[in-house]
Amino acid sequence: MLHCVSHSGPADRVFYRHREPKIAGQPYEKTPISTICPAICAARRKLLPDDLADRNMAAMNRKRQSGFSILEVLVTLAIVAILMGIGIPSFQNLMDTNRMAAAVNDLVGGMHAARAEAIKRRANITICASSDWNTADPDCDAAAHFGSGWIMFVDGVPPVAPNADIDGPDELLRAHGPLAGTVDAIVVDAGVTVPYLSYAPTGFTQQIGALVPVNNIQICDRRGNVDTGGGIAAGRWVNVAVTGRPQIFSQQADVQGSPLGGC
């Protein structure tokens, strides 16, 4: 068994190798090992308290000297500026696309709901643009568009004909506020004086008297005619078939080729 034991002061420590005695009861044999195992002695001396204090002091000095140079800071700032210049416009475009999708889905969802109510109630259901959608007595507004808000209501139960106005036993079913603020242009068919859609009990669209109903809706935002990637337009075109089912067109070629002229 090897035991390294110091028998002198810190400056001249000598290590010995102890061997178990051959005869029981005899003292351990003590032999200096500095000459036969210098590597072990050197390693042991590195762990002496005085040497450890010097090494700790050197390590602390190195830590105090660590930091970034001006060149490193400038390079980092330049990289951050480039990444922000690339990322912020892309993020803004993504936000506008999400707002456009939400606005179109809200409007088309209202059309689907109106059609379903007409079939379920066996009644005439009208959905129209309304600027006073949040009042106690809202009505269809010729000066408004679907971006201003809209209302959905029972517009006469057969044989009572619809008249695009909430009166008599008519019942307000839903009111929706303005669409996203980034949606800045909503165009409908020429000749439409009151933006509305009316569903008969069959679920098909119908015209109310001389009022021309909406068949096409063009929804645009501040980006105008922009390809957002993969041929997808920034705006949307909604076409309402005679069966009452609305269809959303998002391809740029379709949106710009719509009867309304695109964004």
**pLDDT per position as a tens digit, 77-106:** 888 878 777 766 677 888 888 899 999 999
Cβ atoms of 170 and 153 closer than 8 Å: yes
Q: With bands split at pLDDT 50, 70 and 90, how would you rate the model's confidence at 6? A: very low
Domain locations along the chain: 102-256
pLDDT mean across residues, the chain: 81
Q: With bands split at pLDDT 50, 70 and 90, how would you rate the model's confidence at 132? A: very high
Q: With bands split at pLDDT 50, 70 and 90, how would you rate the model's confidence at 146? A: very high
Range from 71-80, 153-162, 196-205 carrying the lowest mean pLDDT? 71-80
CATH topology of domain 102-256: minor pseudopilin epsh fold (3.55.40)
**pLDDT per position as a tens digit, 182-233:** 787 788 998 999 999 999 999 999 999 999 999 999 999 988 898 988 899 9
In which element (H, E) is residue 80 found?
A: helix 70-121
In DSSP terms, 248 is beta-bridged to 238
In DSSP terms, 17 is beta-bridged to 31
Q: With bands split at pLDDT 50, 70 and 90, how would you rate the model's confidence at 40? A: low
Answering whether pTM is above 0.85, one says no
Range from 46-55, 71-80, 188-197, 247-256 carrying the lowest mean pLDDT? 46-55
Percent of the chain residues topping a pLDDT of 90:
49
pLDDT for 87 equals 62
List b or e across 167-187, with b for residues whose CB sees 16 or more CB atoms inside 10 angstroms: eeebeebebbebbbebbeebb
